[in-house]
Structure 1
């Protein structure tokens, strides 16, 4: 493994959780090398990745300038990176109560957004049988989560989740939200994200316009083309 970059990021071309870590590394201007694991070959469950991450899921981050410190679980990685490397606190908060609110959103993303959106993707793409009740459940849960976000964002003067600015709380949702808009809800009859969730959609577009997001969206599209 080359240590020319400060970080090694084990990730996946399509996996939303890996891309949100890459987004934060870009935002912080940190150097990293991405290793894209091939899930069809089960590389995430094999050495060397499994030696670092016993859960065998992505992302896994190795910080070579901190004694090759290894961390997995995407939101834990986000917290580590801002705690150690966001010295200006651009993407986090300092107020005690706001810190807890930021953590609240990270927990909600990890427990309420990622699993539901991910389960839809599983049943839509990989499950050997078509289970319509499962697809319907996760489509409805996706709409529910978007409704929670939309309701909170509609009351936020800044249009962000916490601290009156873009933070890792907002970033943590983006890659899975993109999947919801482009895939999960795209063909659901009667759902118009723009009209039904306007505050959410405005929030998503503001994040989408960031330089880091534009850069990595282009990179991901290129990688998808190469692996198609």
Structure 2
């Protein structure tokens, strides 16, 4: 019997991408919690897997040629798992390009911009209105892009795919980004559809108790120093 995938994880929008994919695939995995508020991401053993000191990362003991492989970056992990298992990432080139466009749109746009909105709206030590407005408005624009895209198709690339798994986690905390899903009816329909999936429900519960044991990041000044004060090490 093949050993389970090791998932290095903390329950955040980027972490949820991979629990969603693994739950959808029905692939056995074991969670190795990386408490980013306590600095676990700087441990030497983890840096050997994820040199950018970010989770998620995986080790697949049954990698190419039957040898273990470690992968960091959520988009790369989704692509790898999609290729390996032949699900949620089509082999037809036109269909694959559709998925990749929206996957990279999320990785390069929705995630970073929503993350900045979270930062300036909740965590910045001083209230900087320009930063709040800049990123709240940009997330609003990106939600509008999704809403228009979803007006005539059920999912971002047509069929349900890793592009949807990548994006949903960043829409879950929409209120923290200053957004109202009622302003985006097609996006809201997509959002409700994904949250109704059993795999998605299970995936976003992974680690919820671990996170609940921690202080709120908005209140935890030590965690903020760890997360927001990083320079080259």
Cα distance, 1:6 vs. partner? 1.8
Q: Hey, what does 2:145 align to over in structure 1?
A: 148
Check if 1:42 corresponds to 2:35: no
Q: Hey, what does 1:207 align to over in structure 2?
A: 194
Q: Hey, what does 1:179 align to over in structure 2?
A: 173
Equivalences for residues 160-175 of structure 1 within 5 A: 160-162=155-157, 164-175=158-169
8 Å contact kept, 2:20–2:204: no
Q: Secondary structure of 2:52's partner?
A: coil
| Matched residues, number | 211
Q: Hey, what does 1:54 align to over in structure 2?
A: 51
Normalised TM-score (structure 2) = 0.84
Check if 1:128 corresponds to 2:125: yes
8 Å contact kept, 1:5–1:33: no
Q: Hey, what does 2:7 align to over in structure 1?
A: 9
Normalised TM-score (structure 1) = 0.86
Structure 1 stretches of 5 or more lacking a match? 187-191
The alignment's C-alpha RMSD in Å is: 1.7
Q: Deviations over 1:193-214 (max 9, x none)?
A: 21x2100000011000000111
Cα distance, 1:134 vs. partner? 0.6
CA distance in 1, matches of 2:45, 2:120: 29
Runs of 4+ aligned residues of structure 1 deviating over 6 Å after TM superposition are: none
Equivalences for residues 26-105 of structure 1 within 5 A: 26-66=23-63, 67-86=67-86, 89=87, 91-105=88-102
8 Å contact kept, 1:151–1:199: yes
